Amino acid sequence: MESASVPLPHGGGGHTAEAHHHGPPAANQSSRIDRQTLGIFLFIISEVMLFGSFFASYFFLRVVVNPVSWPPYPFELPVAIAGMNTAILVSSSFTIHYALEAIRKGNRQGMKLGLVLTWILGLTFLFVQINEYVHLGFSGRTESFGTIFYSLTGLHGAHVFIGLILLSAATLRAFRGHFSKEPEKHLGVEVPGIYWHFVDIMWIIVFATVYIL
């Protein structure tokens, strides 16, 4: 009487490599985002909400509390100086973009030049804004107008200061030869660049809202 033959498992009773794999497959590289870039984007989102709360207060004070004139008599805002300062800060967006494009092409000298120019333009912007505060003729305690003006412009100035710190670190590393054209090797330039573009765009909104409208 023949006995039924039982098929033996392949590989001497071992399991295949697939059987040992648990969980979803690893994501493709194209669907990943590095932690530094994701972190700066999340930080920017939180800062947009922060600025949004200040803008909400500004429009409430302007429309509800003091709808007759803005700025209230006899105060005036130096629109021409602020416009010049806006041009300075917008120019710094081009220089930081030049720095990033330079390192992407392996041009280290171009990267250094772009970073240094961006830092100088940012510092100039901050100096002009502080000088403007000195000669305005009103303070943050001058009615609700002074409070919201200094709150909005001061909040932005604080972000410029943080940006200068990031640029200082990136510039120092650039002169020490820390960056190269590989994508993962110049995040130290790209991340501060993303933040700096955010600072520039936010100032355009602040300038148009506070000085122009």
Residue 112 sits in which domain range?
89-213
103 token code pair: 């390192």
Torsion of CA 158, 163, 164, 169, to 10 degrees: 140
pTM, entire model = 0.79
Inside any domain, residue 52: no
- Cα–Cα dist 205/85, whole Å: 13
Per the domain annotation, does 46 fall within a domain? no
Instruction: Render pLDDT for 44-89 as a digit per residue (tens, 0 to 9).
Output: 999 999 999 999 999 988 888 776 777 877 888 999 999 999 999 9
Q: Residue 103: which residues within 8 A CB-CB, separation 6 or more?
A: 110, 111, 179, 180, 181, 186, 189
**Residue 119 within a domain:** yes
pLDDT grade for 32, boundaries at 50, 70 and 90 = low
Name the pLDDT band for 153 (thresholds 50, 70, 90).
very high
pLDDT given at position 183: 58
Provide the domain count of the chain.
1
CATH number at residue 109: 1.20.120.80
Query: Is the pLDDT reported for residue 1 higher than 60?
Result: no
pLDDT in tens, 162-177: 999 999 999 999 898 8
Cα angle for residues 125, 128, 130 (degrees, 5° grid): 110
